Homo-oligomer: A and B are copies of this chain.
């Protein structure tokens, strides 16, 4: 397998983007990434598109072909992949394997979702198709409810508090103030988060990531091409992907996401790194409890210690391990199919030193993307 670098990134604004459809969003991100790489559409040999539910969100399947067509990637192989909210990272991984294998030399991996065309109720129902429809969703389970159960047990077993969870939201909204692409530029105090209405006890409105439109794209290239074309290539040095039982009731322990642990083990092994070698991480904070569980499952702290770790400020911009410098899903926004690629964009901006006021000058960055409540997870590690 060959070395692979990211040589270009593109991102749309995240938010309620009523002037766009999913295709125009994806095309914008893709063309920005191609331009950022200093190449042209004709150079792209394959496209990988992550999107969770074109069918239910915008009544459009076959998006890989539509996006390739409208972006001017003429007649190339274009592959739509889906793994619920981890669809973006899955596109990244498949694109990575395509270049690493020598099958292609330059490919684009993109992610996009257009969620705000539906009512909040319809979005919640659509997201619930990432759970086991016949065993969970049909009985009324939605994602706030599923993560609430995970949070409750985490609180019971490890003494994690609602305040510790709220600190994740406060931090991520603070970080998003420095990210021009973020959906929210609004800080919240701890008491504002704690006093926001319960969605599913103990999860409150301000513990939850929003409904978002957006797209992101990266250009991947082989070592030879990356060194020729790019002054600051960012190398993908580890890629891990695992699945697990989709239904919570099938898992041995719902305070941990096994798919994250298995994927992380693969990525660390490939990179030859340990958790302590990672300088910053973008993790899947669809709810604040998810960030705490991720910090533990990725091996940054022992199980049950993430609440304390966050409370002590270790994950803030100036902390020992900045987490979600972009604002995370929580404040940057969570257009599900785009999220994994947007995490990769943040990794690249940070490693290049292009992340403005939020730059933490890392040498290694880990990104972590989860499908549903943990039925799938992907972990990637990058270095300069």
Chain A residues in the interface with B (C-beta under 8 A): 1, 21, 52-56, 58-62, 64-66, 68-69, 73, 75-84, 90, 93-94, 97-98, 100-103, 126, 129-134, 137, 241-246, 250, 258-259, 262, 371-372, 375-376
Residues of B within 8 A of A54 (CB): 55, 129
Residues of B within 8 A of A83 (CB): 62, 64-65, 78-80
Decide: B82 and A80 in contact? CB cutoff 8 A: yes
CA distance A84 to B83 in the complex (A): 16
Smallest Cβ-Cβ distance to A336: which chain B residue? B61
Decide: A375 and B66 in contact? CB cutoff 8 A: yes
Decide: A262 and B75 in contact? CB cutoff 8 A: yes
Given contacts A58-B133, A65-B83, A250-B69, contact A97 B103 (CB under 8 A): yes
Smallest Cβ-Cβ distance to A68: which chain B residue? B243
Tell me, rounded to whole Å, the shortest Cβ–Cβ distance linking A4 to chain B.
12
Interchain residue pairs with CB less than 8 A apart (29): A1-B102, A21-B134, A55-B55, A55-B56, A55-B126, A56-B59, A59-B137, A61-B84, A61-B130, A62-B371, A65-B372, A65-B375, A65-B376, A68-B243, A69-B244, A69-B246, A69-B375, A73-B243, A75-B242, A77-B241, A77-B243, A78-B83, A78-B376, A79-B94, A80-B82, A80-B83, A81-B81, A97-B98, A97-B101
Given contacts A55-B53, A64-B376, A82-B61, contact A76 B129 (CB under 8 A): no
Tell me, rounded to whole Å, the shortest Cβ–Cβ distance linking A330 to chain B.
22
Given contacts A53-B55, A94-B94, A376-B78, contact A84 B102 (CB under 8 A): no
Decide: A129 and B244 in contact? CB cutoff 8 A: no
CA distance A1 to B101 in the complex (A): 7
As for how many copies of this chain the complex holds, the number is: 2
Smallest Cβ-Cβ distance to A131: which chain B residue? B62
Residues of B within 8 A of A97 (CB): 97-98, 101, 103
Decide: A64 and B243 in contact? CB cutoff 8 A: yes
Tell me, rounded to whole Å, the shortest Cβ–Cβ distance linking A238 to chain B.
14
Decide: B66 and A132 in contact? CB cutoff 8 A: yes
Residues of B within 8 A of A61 (CB): 52-53, 56, 82, 84, 129-130
Residues of B within 8 A of A241 (CB): 77
Residues of B within 8 A of A82 (CB): 61-62, 64, 80-82
Tell me, rounded to whole Å, the shortest Cβ–Cβ distance linking A345 to chain B.
22
Residues of B within 8 A of A126 (CB): 55
- A53-B61, A55-B126 are known; give 8 further A-B pairs, CB within 8 A: A62-B83, A64-B243, A69-B245, A76-B243, A77-B242, A78-B83, A97-B97, A101-B103
For A69, give its contact among B55, B62, B100, B243 (CB under 8 Å): B243
